[in-house]
Amino acid sequence: MTEITLPRHIDGSQSPQLPKSRQITLIGANGAGKTRFMNDLVTRCEGRAYVLSALSAFYPERDTNPLPGSIDNLYAEASKASVYLKNDAVSELDKLGYMLFNDEFETLLRAKTMRALGEQPEATVTKLDRLIALWQQIFPGNQILRAAGQMMFSTESGENIISSIKLSSGEKAVLYYIAAVLYAMPDAVIFIDSPTLFLHPSILNTVWNAIENLRPDCTFIYNTYDVNFVNSRTENVCIWIKSFNIEQHAWDYEVLRSDNLDEELFIDLIGTRKPVLFIEGDAIHSLDAKLYPLVFPDHTVRPLGSCDKVIESTRTFNDLKHMHHLDSRGIVDRDRRTDGEVDYLRNKNVLVPNVAEIENIFMLEGVIKTMARRRGKDADKVFNKVKAAIFKSFRAHFEAQALLHVRHKVKHDVECRIDARFNSINELEQHLNTLVNKIRPRETYNEMRNRFSKMLTDNDYAGILKVFNHKPMLSESGITTLLDYRSKDQYIKGVLNVLKGNGKDAKQIRATIKHAFGLSLDDNLIDDR
């Protein structure tokens, strides 16, 4: 394992030495100087640097790699020393293939010569043997066959035998990386540009874990944008390149520490120059992750799961603003929060919509009317029918909704009040006995019922959307039938497709949703230009 001295820092501080690690990843925004940084490291590792790039390895139109020990130089030296090796290969992949078979031939020739002299040659595992073994580990059921001085590829049954030319780009990349790493000099520092390029996510970690195990003597330095790959390296030292000063030939960079924020999240975000928006749910299944990137296209939107994680990450990421200079906000569902709770969160840069839950966003008047017009319907008639259905549903669940709101408020009040310090069990017991009188649940319930009743009397549709947590509401509204959709999911998909189109209707829907957050199109938080 090699100690590596980093390039000069822009603040003039002495170039630090990296802690010993077999895995080093370089990350940073586009234009930050990441590639220049890697090239500087290559120069610093003179004599041990070994640079790989699948992007250039397959193509003949490229500059020859001048580094000592490079594939180009190894091939040139081998061609001079062997009468059997072709010297007409131009791509790195072809050169590696010729060298593998030349080594294979020379190994067999030596063994035959020793037997002719009455000696018993030791069993030798060639580079080609090791490549074949690793290939079949990565692609179970596939085989590499030795045929007429070249590799042929087939399934286990022997069907569909093809040459390397007909392999997919991903298969060629795996072949290239395995073969190339086998030819790296001892204790090499292997630089890999874009290690995820061409490789399917399902095999990415398998490939690189296997290749690293192939050469435990080497240090691997990866230049990548893929956060999942960065976090897959278990012995990783991560260097965040922030900017490059061409006049000083120096970088602003940092060897990352993740003491204050989840490492995966931090690494994922520092490469962006957009403001950050943390949301609830997951990246695949949640409605939040489908909707909010379309509503806030000029933000980097990151789902974090729970609302607690959103609130905490928003706070922490803003506390670390000296490291990244990015604005960050969060979005959480209203979920029966009181006005006081909402104000508190908004003061902490956590946005809370004026609707009870995300499904209610699709029931906003502006959204419904816009979608009705697109479907060739009378927008006012459609909205009035939906509104009547929502009022009917709210009346049916009136008391249950009031009780749920009271339960939330009581739980919140108890949690807040129980946090007081008590010197004895008697003090705690006395405090609990007085809580009921202080919290007054029945009085709160009656107040909530009166509030809900007034919403119905005042025909307050927006107010009902603000307090009505009812998952079947969208279906019960009749919106799907009114707009000729097969299901509520199809309606939601229709709204999302409009937002993706980014036309006049998309702007109208986006403005409606932003208004529900207390924002406008020209709000400083959002820039739609």
Q: Which DSSP letter does residue 165 get? A: G
Give the separation between CA 325 and CA 397, rounded to whole angstroms. Answer: 47
Residue where a domain terminates, one of 461, 476, 504:
461
Flag whether pLDDT at 529 surpasses 70: no
| Residue-level pLDDT at 138 | 92
- Residue 287 CB neighbours (<10 A): 17
Is 137 a domain residue? yes
Altogether, the residues listed in the chain come to a count of 529
Owning domain of residue 216: 23-227
Residue where a domain terminates, one of 184, 212, 227:
227
| Residue-level pLDDT at 62 | 66
Q: How confident is the model at residue 233 (pLDDT cuts 50, 70, 90)?
A: confident
Flag whether pLDDT at 143 surpasses 50: yes
Q: Tens of pLDDT along 153-182?
A: 987 666 778 888 888 899 999 999 999 999
Flag whether pLDDT at 384 surpasses 80: yes
Dump the DSSP string for 471-511: TTHHHHTTHHHHTT-SSHHHHHHHHHHHHHHTSHHHHHHHH
User: Per residue, what are the HEC states of 186-199?
Assistant: CCCEEEEECCCCCC
- Residue 226 CB neighbours (<10 A): 19
| Residue-level pLDDT at 418 | 55
pLDDT averaged over every residue in the chain: 84
- Residue 362 CB neighbours (<10 A): 24
- pLDDT mean over 234-240: 82
The CATH number given to whatever domain includes residue 47 is 3.40.50
Comparing CA positions, the residue from 129, 106, 128, 110 lying closest to residue 120 is: 110
CB contact at 8 A, 479 and 368: yes
Residue where a domain terminates, one of 227, 252, 267:
227
Q: How confident is the model at residue 524 (pLDDT cuts 50, 70, 90)?
A: very low
Flag whether pLDDT at 19 surpasses 70: no
CB contact at 8 A, 230 and 25: yes
CB contact at 8 A, 499 and 360: no
Place of tokens 């739980």: 411
Is 332 a domain residue? no
Is 528 a domain residue? no
Is 280 a domain residue? no
Q: Tens of pLDDT along 267-299?
A: 666 666 678 899 998 877 789 989 999 999 888
Flag whether pLDDT at 151 surpasses 60: yes
| Residue-level pLDDT at 219 | 94
Is 111 a domain residue? yes
Phi, psi of 459 (to 5 degrees): 60, 40
| Residue-level pLDDT at 184 | 96
Is 318 a domain residue? no
Is 193 a domain residue? yes
Dump the DSSP string for 381-446: HHHHHHHHHHHHHHHHTHHHHHHHHHHHHHHHHHHHHTTS--SSHHHHHHHHHHHHHHH-HHHHHH
Kindly report the pTM of this predicted structure: 0.57
Number of domains observed in the structure of the chain: 2
CB contact at 8 A, 97 and 127: no
Is 412 a domain residue? yes
